[in-house]
Amino acid sequence: MADQEDLEKIRQRLHGKLLAIDGVSGVGVGAGRIHIYLAGDHPHVRDAVDRVLQSEAPDVPHAYFVTGEFRAHKPE
């Protein structure tokens, strides 16, 4: 199992590829796994993420969180 530092390196390496998938809102690390934040819960998005992770980091655990789209907060 990868430690927090290894997971962060994997997140940094895969961040761009994962965010390029339409429907992925963000990528993080926590609780010993990669966190994938989704705009909606769509099987084709999960399948696309799984393909990237299987080819790039097959032994790394991951979890999905349906959060909606992330948007930058504009201060008032």
- Binned average pLDDT, 10 residues per bin, the chain of 76 residues: 88 96 96 95 97 95 90 72
DSSP state of 40: S
Q: How far apart are CA 65 and CA 75, in angstroms?
A: 26
Helix (H, G, I), strand (E, B) or coil at 73: coil
Question: Cα 1 from chain centroid?
Answer: 17
Q: How far apart are CA 58 and CA 20, in angstroms?
A: 19
pTM for this entry: 0.87
Predicted pLDDT of residue 1? 60
Question: Cα 69 from chain centroid?
Answer: 13
Domains defined for the chain, CATH in brackets: 4-66 (3.30.300)
